[in-house]
Amino acid sequence: MSELNFYKMSASGNDFIVVDNRDGKVDAMFPDIKGFIQKVCRLHHSVGADGMILIENSKEHDFRWRFFNADGSEAEMCGNGGRCAARFACITGIAKEKMAFETIAGIIKAEVTGTRVKLQLTTPSQLKLDYPVGLEDKEIFLSSVNTGVPHAVLLVDDVDYTPVEELGRLIRHHKSFGEKGTNVDFVEIIDKGNLKLRTYERGVEGETYACGTGAVAAGIILREKSLVESPVNIITRGGEILKVYINDEVYLEGDTRLIYIGTLNKEALL
């Protein structure tokens, strides 16, 4: 196996493997891209990550990205991954501090200031408030919105004691959200400017320390219900705070970390 260099990056507890694939090297080396990503994203046995980001060429913008969840599925968008991709592009000289890049969800704009990245997301769609969903033994009321990827949001009294794994799994696969399912966000209101959030992520198939598009989804829905004001601080499971701006345009802002730069060895895929 030829050498494959990568950056390990993190944003609010979500960690990603970021690769400069402008020469198409990853596709040439690994025709089974899904299997490759599943192997390299394994915790304890390989690099380990919530997902992989491939930075590729774009004819009209600074770059194009392909984003993959840890299970190898390709996703339209990832807020925290987008912030890592923007900082990666800035560090490596692919783009300047202000940039725009292509995703399946649409064109994303970003601004990098040191380690902090402010990301303009695509226009939210499919907003739906307070509708009933029947689970195994009860009925709950959810709201949902697409912030690049679909999110269902459930307002709870105490997010720390919410059974996120169990309840999140039921909602994530519910027939109401079709074959692809949805991400699920559990949100607790502290006050008009602060929320606590836990997310069950589709593709990771479990709770993650943070979810950028989920933070935006929670902010949009609760502002629509007049329960918060913009900007709103989202306290993630990992303890970091994301700032969400909700006006005519929607922005996600927070810190990023470059953890290390490495070279993948063939034993990482065993």
CB 240, CB 165: distance < 8 Å: no
* pLDDT above 80 for 37: yes
pLDDT in tens, 148-162: 999 999 999 999 999
Mean pLDDT of the chain: 95
Task: Output phi, psi for 28, to 5 deg.
Answer: -70, -40
- What whole-number distance in Å separates Cα of residue 186 and Cα of residue 52? 25
Percent of the chain, pLDDT > 90? 90
Q: Do 38 and 32 meet the contact criterion of CB atoms below 8 Å apart?
A: no
**Is the dihedral angle over the CA atoms 42, 238, 123, 86 positive or is it negative?**
negative
Angle at 232 between CA 228 and CA 236, to 5 degrees: 115
What are the structural domains of the chain?
4-120+256-269 (3.10.310.10), 125-248 (3.10.310.10)
pLDDT digits (tens, 9 = 90+) for 162-214: 999 999 999 999 999 988 999 999 999 999 999 999 999 998 999 999 999 99
240 has a pLDDT exceeding 80? yes
- 10/189 Cα distance (integer angstroms): 26
Stretch (H or E) spanning 67: strand 63-69
Any bridge partners for residue 107, and if so which?
102
- At residue 137, the pLDDT reads 79
Non-local CB neighbours of 191 within 8 Å, separated by 6+ positions = none
- Strand partners for 120: 109, 251
Give pTM, 2 decimals.
Answer: 0.90
pLDDT for residue 2 is more than 90: no
pLDDT at position 1:
61
Is residue 12 predicted with pLDDT exceeding 70? yes
2-39 burial, b if ≥16 CB within 10 A, otherwise e? eebebbbbbbbbbbbbbbbbeeebbeeebeebeebbbb
Give the active site residues: 78, 211
pLDDT tens-place string over residues 71-104: 999 998 999 999 999 999 999 999 999 999 999 9
Does position 265 have pLDDT exceeding 70, yes or no? Answer: yes
Q: Residue 13: pLDDT band by 50, 70, 90 thresholds?
A: confident
**CA of residue 151 relative to chain centroid, distance:** 11
